Amino acid sequence: MQNDIDSIEVIKEANDFLDNLKITNEQNMQTVLQFRSKMIELGFAVPFKTLFAKMAQEYIEDSEQESQDIKKHLKEIRYLAFLKKSTLNRARVSIASHKIYKAFEEFGVEHLNTYLPIEGDYKKRIIDTGEYAADAYRTLLSMFENRQYKIGGASALISFEKDGIK
């Protein structure tokens, strides 16, 4: 139970921090890295395994009536697992964006930094950008997922046009 309370606190703190993250600097990067470490320590990387293992143990130890009560809470357990997984992913995206941000500065293309999801919420940016961005994202994702072998890395060349400027 205490682990769930700790998890919920970390989820709230991490999302609040990321929601307000507007600039990238070493201090912000370290804060996100600390959140990621804490999340991994709390089992966010495999949330369903952790939650269902705990639930299975309770099934064995508790009476039949209490087992029925646990089944009623299954929806909440799944939701907590979803929050854990998505918050950890958001922190990972933020960390990657911080690293890309630094690389863009080193290569002299810092104007591209405005497109990075420093706050880790890349899906919101895709949705806000519109139908074409969502379609391009879906197409790229399906291309990478349909591989019959594991891809260690991938890159894509993307062109962007706004107000007639490419």
User: Is residue 91 within 8 Å of 120, Cβ to Cβ?
Assistant: yes
Domain map (residue ranges) of the chain: 2-145
Q: For the whole prediction, is pTM greater than 0.85? A: no
Higher pLDDT, 13 or 150: 13
pLDDT 10s digits, 49-98: 666 665 555 555 556 666 677 677 777 888 888 999 999 999 999 999 99
CA 62 to CA 46: how far, in whole Å? Answer: 24
Task: Please name the residues in contact with 20: beta carbons below 8 A apart, sequence gap of 6 or more.
Answer: none
User: 118 and 104 in contact (C-beta within 8 Å)?
Assistant: no
Instruction: List, in sequence order, every beta strand (DSSP E) within 23-149.
Output: none
Q: Using CA atoms, how far apart are residues 103 and 109, in angstroms rounded to an integer?
A: 9
